[in-house]
Amino acid sequence: MMQAVFNILGLALMVLGSGLLLVAAWGVNTLPDALSRQHAATLAGTLGVFSICIGAALLQADWSWTWKLGLIITFLLLTMPVASHMLARAAVAQMDDE
């Protein structure tokens, strides 16, 4: 019974994550300026990959998968804000030069 609940929740999170990644890709292609595109890619992309990893962890009952996915999530949560900040600073500096 619990495995069925984990399967349904895991699939739902993976579908949600896939949808968020599609929204991030759409935002990168359609938003007008660099800061808006960077914001869409970082925010929706991080949440999308986070949801996919949590969904995959729920679908896999093996702990070896779970801790690896946890490492991926930790790495993303530590690096994506820094990368986003660096891109935003570069975009603002380029706007000031023009």
φ, ψ at 34 (rounded to 5°): -65, -40
Report d(CA 43, CA 50) in Å as an integer.
Answer: 11
Global confidence as pTM:
0.83
pLDDT at position 13, please? Answer: 96
pLDDT in the model for residue 93? 86
The secondary structure of 30-64 as a DSSP string is H-SSHHHHHHHHHHHHHHHHHHHHHHHHHH---HH
Q: What is the predicted pLDDT for the residue at 47?
A: 92
Distance CA 70, CA 32 (A): 34
Q: What pLDDT tens digit does each residue of the chain (98 aa) get?
A: 888 999 999 999 999 999 999 999 998 899 888 888 888 888 888 899 999 999 999 998 788 888 999 999 999 889 988 888 888 888 888 887 76
